[in-house]
Every structure is written in structure tokens, then in C-alpha cells.
Amino acid sequence: MEYRRLGKSGLQLSVVSYGSWTTFHHQVDEHLADTLMGYAYDQGINFFDNAESYAGGESEKLMGRVLKQKRWERSSYVLSSKVFFGWHGKENKPNQHGLSRKHIIEACHEALQRLQVDYLDLYFCHRPDPQTPVSEVVWAMNHLLQQGKILYWGTSEWSAAQIMEAHMIAERYGLIGPTMEQPQYNLFYREKVEKEFLPLYESIGLGTTTWSPLASGLLTGKYNAGIPRDSRLGLPGYEWLKEKLLIPQNIEKVKALQRMADAYGVSLAVLAIAWCIRNPHVSTVILGASRLSQLEENMQAVQFYHQLQDEILQQIEAIVDNKPHE
């Protein structure tokens, strides 16, 4: 396993990590979660990603039970949660979602209880909240930092301007700004990581924990001939994702990438994950495997990305034809 610093911080994350979005509690039960997390940890993965809203809090409870059973040294792994959506879904009351000081602090306490730990290593604002002043968010996060309940805070799906506003407020009051952002990043979604955040890597040392390297499974090739019943896009509630991803031009690009992966003797998934790791601005790539065979396969990307020389990268660019203009 290889490790990278989370931006300019001293925290080191494995170049691939393991997350539970859509899988834990829905596709992954406790026995399988124990197997998957155990394999990941044994392979050197040290970051496990979660959120208050995943499976209405059940994802964190499941991960917490596994962590308690494993009895790993707490200092040997990095654990996250995210705050914004709440865990009650449509039953959320007014202060049970968003980024008010009240919800940020209460959601942290609830995540600690569900995960059965004393502190979170990483705590993300899962989305920006137009109803809450950014200064309130910065102060609330620093309150938790001072209490030792979180070690680093960051954002997810915020714009560069919003991240910079938080940093400017933190600097004004001598506080700590966001260390990391969790953006989507894959061969079909590149704008933020490769263009919008480019000035932030140097100016504030932004770290990134990127999600959806396989574009919700599209970059495995499994949707080339339709939607498998047990796949993510076959789950209820993901119709919006299906409509966004499964368009003819994307499928044709995936088929071309598949032929390229075949020529290099790897799966399309390994090629797609390796391409993400190849970007030095990516601190870690979050994997979301729901089967051990998937996770074993995905781990090959840690070695294969070294083979992605300029010639191969140019071949990929010719196929996807979507490189952001600087």
C-alpha cells in the first residue's frame, strides 16, 4: 500500500480507502462488512468513510459494530462522518439537518455513538448550507476541534469559492479552516478536481478524498447490456443516477475503454481507479465494493497506476474526450 498526506496536513491516508455509501445495510450485512473491512485493513487501507445520512444512520451503526469486534488500535485507522442531510430522511425536523451550530455538534455526538468511538478523524460538511452563515460553520467545527471530538474538518461538494470563504473567515479569527474536500472524481466527472480546485492545492494545501471512481459502476462495464437486478442502479431511489449516467455516448466510451483495458490485461475497473490515483492532487480514492471479489480486484489499481505513462493517458483522453480546459 502507498500513503499520501491529506493536502498540506501531516495526516497520511492510503491511496485507496473504503466507504459505505449505498452498500452497508442495503447490500452488505454485518458478516460481509466484517469480511470486507478486515480484508481492506489487512491490505493496508487505513481510511474508512461514512456519513450520518447513509442508510439513515444504520451504516454507521454497522461499521461501529465491526470496528468494536475487530479491536484494532484506534491510532491505526482514520474514520470519518459527514453532516448535513440528517438521518431521519423525510422525517427530519427543522434542526435535524443543515449546518447550524446545533446540528453540526449534535450530529457529531450521534455519529460518535453510532460508530462507538471517542473521536472522528475527519468530519465533513456534506453539502453547503445557504441558510447558515459560513462563519457559524467555521466556529462550530473549531469548537469540536478544541474539544478533541474531531481532528480535521472539511467539505464535500462545495465550490472553490465556498471553501475559500471558509478559509478567509478562519484566518480572520485565528481558527482552523477546512483541510479537505470530498468531490466526485472519475473519467466522466473531472471539472472540480482538475480545474476548479487547481488554485487551492497550492494556496491552501487542499486535500481530496474522492468518491465514485467507477461512476456508480458504469466504469465496470456491467451496464453495457442493461441494468443487472442486483446492481446499484437497480436499487429503488437511484432513478436520478440512472438517467444521468446511462446515456448512449457514455456507454460507447465505456466499451472503448473496456477494449483498452483488455489490451493491457486488466479489468476496466482497475484501469478507471488507477487513472484516479494517477492524479497527484488526489489524496485517496474511496472504493465502495459490495463483494470481496470486487475489492480484491480493485486493489490491483494500487500497483497498476504506475504503468499509466503518458502514452496510455493520451489514449484514454482520446476516448473520453472531456479534459477540462485550464
Query: 121-140: per-residue pLDDT in tens?
Result: 999 999 999 999 999 999 99
How deeply is 304 buried, as exposed, middle or buried, from its count of CB atoms within 10 A (0-12, 13-18, 19+)?
buried
Question: What pLDDT, on the 0 to 100 scale, is given for residue 99?
Answer: 98
Residue 142 is placed in which grid cell? 473549531
Strand, helix or coil at 309? Answer: coil
User: How far apart, in whole angstroms, are the C-alpha atoms of residue 125 and residue 81?
Assistant: 9
152 catalytic per annotation: no
Using the CB atoms, write b or e for 215-231: b if 16+ within 10 Å.
Answer: bbbbbbbbbeeeeeeeb
For residue 302, pLDDT over 80 is answered with yes
pLDDT > 70? residue 287: yes
pLDDT at 248 over 90: no
Q: What is the mean pLDDT of residues 231-241?
A: 69
- Percent of the chain exceeding pLDDT 90 equals 87
Class of domain 3-217+281-291: alpha beta
Residue 234 has pLDDT above 80, yes or no: no
Which one of 18, 41, 54, 77 is the catalytic residue? 54
In 10 A of CB 147, how many CB atoms?
11
Average pLDDT over residues 229-235: 68
Query: For residue 111, what are the contacts with CB-CB under 8 A and spacing of at least 6?
Result: 50, 52, 60, 81, 83, 120
Mention every residue, 6+ apart, whose C-beta is less than 8 A from residue 321.
none
Residue 244's pLDDT band, with cuts at 50, 70 and 90, is confident
Residue identified by cell 488526489 is 282
| CB 286, CB 18: distance < 8 Å | yes
Does the pLDDT of residue 228 top 90, yes or no? no
> Using an 8 Å Cβ cutoff, are 4 and 15 in contact?
yes
Q: Which residues pair with 82 in a beta bridge?
A: 124
- pLDDT above 90 for 151: yes
Distance between CA atoms of residues 322 and 249, nearest Å: 12
Cβ-contact 317, 290 below 8 angstroms = no
Band (222; pLDDT cuts 50, 70, 90): confident
**pLDDT the model gives residue 326:** 75
What's the pLDDT at 232? 66
DSSP summary character for residue 194: I
What is the average pLDDT score of the chain?
A: 94
Outline where 216-291 has alpha helix (H). Answer: 239-245, 248-263, 268-277
Q: pLDDT tens digits, residue range 25-71? A: 777 899 999 999 999 999 999 999 999 999 999 999 999 999 999 99
pLDDT confidence of residue 203: 96
- Which three three-digit cell numbers place residue 129? 448550507
106 CA to centre of own chain: 22
* Percent of the chain residues topping a pLDDT of 70: 96
C-alpha–C-alpha distance, residues 169 and 171, integer Å? 5
pLDDT value of position 261: 97
Interatomic CA distance for residues 99 and 84, integer angstroms: 6
